[in-house]
Amino acid sequence: MHALLSAFAPIWTLTAIGYAVGRSGLLGEQAEAVLGRFVFHVAMPAALFTMVSGARPAAFANSSMVAFAAGTALVCGLGFVTAGRLFGRGTADRAIGSMASGYVNSANLGIPVAVQVLGDASFVAQIILFQVLLVSPVILTLLDTGTGTGSGKGVVVRRMLTMPVRNPIIMASLLGVVVSALGLRLPHALAHSGDLLGAAAVPTALITLGLSLNSRPATGGPTEHTEPAESTVRTKRAEVATTVALKTLVQPLIAFVVGGPLLHLPDHQLMAVVLCSALPTAQNAFIYAQQYGLDTRVARNSVVASTVVSMATLSLATWVLGTTGP
């Protein structure tokens, strides 16, 4: 339990600092929007390029990743369908619902949890690559399609083909793949600069998340809804509850079924798969919703609520499967 508390402490601390700064008005009214753009367009691309360029994407071609990917794909699909069928969301909002349901907080929470509980963070590194190179492009494509101007087939195709050039996250990831595939290494000064810039992504995203907790009505921009307040609050709560249940309960359960009875993974690998699948929603879901001008309430509240709930589900998974690390 001490390991989990240590892993969660930076998340709560930085989010609380962001909330306090927002309440004080220290950074002004535009702080949330400006910091969100900084994370999305500058810091996060730097972090992803550094991460991908120094790794080998082929590393996640193994049975453990198959089990994790199966849980992610099924839950993201359920989140997408649920957001549309039950809550009447459009394509872009359904993409955010899908991401909030299945995109795990693998970096700033997954790594410390893996180190403390499993004694090894190598599997988390594979998950980060999987989410960056495969899951994020799908989510961003849906977001781009759902928020694009024009509905003609040619417009949609053109936007999809040009999205890597227009989206800094996908562009940084693709450049990282190219550098990795060619075996190139950046000069130390340039690489170190990228490391420093990328290191700002997670803390700034958490500060931005904290700032957003002061927002009323916490919408991201032009697609703000005008439903009656009581109906909106009830719907949002139900949607957040559904999303959190998919993230913290359904995803690790699917991973367990696929990794255990179907693939017969060794105990240590099965625990790693289930534990990582039980991680809460990454703050990327909130940042993406904000930058695409969507209502951020569901994404923001899903990040916060799933982080609270996952303390219990991670502890339960550790207790049931047994601590196999040191």
CA atoms of 185 and 187, how far apart (whole Å): 7
pLDDT digits (tens, 9 = 90+) for 279-301: 999 988 998 998 888 988 899 99
* DSSP state string for 233-296: HHHHHHHHHHHHHIIIIIHHHHHHHIIIIIT---HHHHHHHHHHHTS-B-THHHHHHHHTT-B-
Q: Which residues of 30-66 are buried (b: 16+ CB within 10 A; e: fewer)?
A: ebbeebbebbbebbbbbbbbbbbbebebeebeebbbb
Comparing 69 with 223, the larger pLDDT belongs to: 69
Residue 264 belongs to some domain of the structure: yes
Q: With respect to residue 162, please indicate whether it lies within any of the assigned structural domains.
A: yes
- Could you tell me if residue 56 is inside a domain? yes
Residue 62 has pLDDT above 90, yes or no: no
| Among candidate residues 72, 75, 74, 76, the one with its CA nearest the CA of residue 95 | 76
Distances (CA, A) of 287 to 37, 53, 82, 303: 8, 23, 21, 11
Q: How many domains does the chain have?
A: 1
Q: State percent of the chain over pLDDT 90.
A: 31
Closest of 151, 125, 141 to residue 55, by C-alpha: 125
Contact (Cβ atoms closer than 8 angstroms) between residue 301 and residue 236: yes
Answer yes or no: is 248 within a domain. Answer: yes
Q: How far apart are the first and last CA of the chain?
A: 14
Cα–Cα distance for residue pair 99/291, rounded to 1 Å: 15
Write out the two tokens for 46. Answer: 């730097």
- Residue 104 three-state SS: strand
**Do the domain assignments include residue 168?**
yes
Query: What's the rounded mean pLDDT across residues 18-40?
Result: 89
Higher pLDDT, 5 or 187: 187
Q: Tell me if 33 is assigned to some domain.
A: yes
pLDDT in tens, 165-188: 667 877 888 888 888 888 888 888
- Tally Cβ neighbours within 10 Å of residue 95: 30
Q: Which of 13-17, 158-162, 276-280 has the lowest mean pLDDT?
A: 158-162
Q: How confident is the model at residue 70 (pLDDT cuts 50, 70, 90)?
A: very high
Does residue 326 lie within any of the structural domains? no
What's the CATH code of the domain at 28?
1.20.1530.20
CB burial class (10 A; 0-12, 13-18, 19+) of residue 293? Answer: middle
Spatial separation of the C-alpha atoms in residues 96 and 129, rounded to whole Å: 20
pLDDT of 308 over the 90 cut: no
Q: What pLDDT band is residue 324 in, cutting at 50, 70 and 90?
A: very low
Higher-confidence position of 275 and 150:
275
What is the pLDDT at residue 120?
66
Question: How many angstroms separate the CA atoms of 76 and 94, rounded?
Answer: 10
Give residue 240's domain range.
2-321
In a domain, 230, yes or no: yes
CB proximity list for 96: less than 8 A, separation 6 or greater: 83, 143, 285, 288, 289, 294, 298, 299
